[in-house]
Chain A
Amino acid sequence: MGQGNPEMGGAERCTFCAEPPVIRLSEPDRHLCAAHLICEIEERAARTIRERELVRPHDRIAVAFSGGKDSTALLLILSRLLLSWDDVSLVAITVDEGIAGYRDDTIRAAEEVTKKLGIEHICVSFTDLVGDDLDTLLVGRETNACSVCGILRRKALTVAAHDAGATKIATGHNLDDEAQSVLMNTLRGDLPRLVRTSDADSSDCFIPRIKPLADVAEKEIAAYLFVQDLFPFLPECPYTRYALRREVRSMLSALEQQHPGTMRNLIKSKRAIEKQVDRSTISEPLRRCRQCGDPCSGELCQVCSLRKSLGK
């Protein structure tokens, strides 16, 4: 920022109709009204699904549904696309980590949305999984919050999706999330994770994961929901202040502002590297955890290693 006065007196109407614009997008530069924004976002998600073959007839899709904006948009878009798909069903799964002053509000929001859309909703908790909530598990280890939470949340989601008979797990990861992950994995020197395939990834679980919103920016998602009175005004997770992602997010959004296209270029680089790299030469061969039998790269899977370190 800080490049002089931003321009004033922009377009008074949508590039495609006479309605007032709600957002300005670049590449190509255009102003969109609410109706054209909704149309564009849903078409882009549908294109991602079509081009990457993320959904097949008879799929039962478990949507990782926190009640936040990304998963709300994902559930809404999938529920609308569902009408044109052959025998595909949805089930929303919410994981209650047990974060005081945060998760209760998002779970309430999640219940309201699934009820409104008429979608089956399952709620599972860390207490069910490991006997304690996240707040209790993190006492004295707050700086590891996102890593502990991520491992347990993935496990809780996988178990619930399996129990619900799901053939795919859909997550609300957006363009910003994807670009942040590329940069974070690079900063950590984690090449195996960097080149993990983007589409229907089944390398760390039995149920393939899909990301239909991977080509939609976070701001576009927020605007998409806001114009439909569905934007969830929720508190921020209290543990995000410990996350590397927070710093990366801030750095990348500043770069994107100064140099539009930065995030897409990062993702493009990742895809180019993916095509060049023989994953078998840089990743540990897939084994079975000696404790629980889940697929993993070491002796113990991440969940069992974590349980061990937590004394669970």
Chain B
Amino acid sequence: MKIFFPDSTTKITAGEPVSIGWILQQRDINPSEVIVSRNGKLVPEDAVASGDDEIRIIRIAHGG
């Protein structure tokens, strides 16, 4: 799977399915500060990512 982080970095991983919440926890990202899409569709943190999924983590606070 390919993960796009809010700081513009990306990570490609293979292996067991993981929850979106677990991905956020690994990067110490607070779930209430982001929304997450899987293959372009918004998903909750307890959704699972696996295989060729493309995960995009979007920071929601812009200020102003």
Contacts and interface: CB of A to CB of B under 8 A. Distances in A.
Contacts of B44: 10-11, 21-24, 31
B45 interface: yes
A22 B43 contact: yes
A20 B41 contact: yes
A240 B35 contact: no
Instruction: Please report whether the interface of chain B is mostly helix, strand, loop or mixed according to DSSP.
Output: mixed
Contact of A6 (B33, B43, B46): B46
Given A20-B41, A68-B64, A234-B62, A7 B25 contact: no
B12 interface: no
A237 B60 CA distance: 13
B63 A243 contact: yes
Instruction: Please report whether the interface of chain A is mostly helix, strand, loop or mixed according to DSSP.
Output: loop
Contacts of B45: 6, 10, 24
A175 B3 CA distance: 29
Contacts of A221: 60
Nearest to B37: A226
Given A7-B19, A8-B19, A227 B25 contact: no
A130 interface: no
A222 B31 CA distance: 13
B30 interface: yes
Contacts, number: 109
- Give the interface size bracket for B toward A: 20 to 34
A9 B22 contact: no
A226 B35 contact: yes
B20 to A, nearest CB: 8
A236 interface: yes
Given A102-B64, A234-B62, A257 B42 contact: no
B9 interface: no
B24 to A, nearest CB: 8
- Give the interface size bracket for A toward B: 35 or more
Interface string A67-109: 0110000000000000000000000000000010011001000
A222 B60 contact: yes
B13 to A, nearest CB: 15
A249 B34 CA distance: 13
Nearest to A11: B46
A219 B24 CA distance: 15
A256 interface: yes
A117 interface: no
B47 interface: yes
Contacts of B42: 22-23, 34, 223, 226-227
Contact of B48 (A1, A9, A254): A9
A40 interface: no
A257 B30 contact: yes
29 contacts: A1-B30, A2-B25, A5-B22, A6-B24, A8-B18, A8-B21, A8-B48, A9-B19, A10-B19, A10-B44, A10-B46, A10-B47, A11-B44, A21-B43, A22-B43, A69-B60, A69-B62, A218-B60, A219-B33, A219-B34, A219-B35, A223-B35, A226-B35, A226-B42, A231-B35, A231-B58, A236-B61, A237-B62, A257-B31
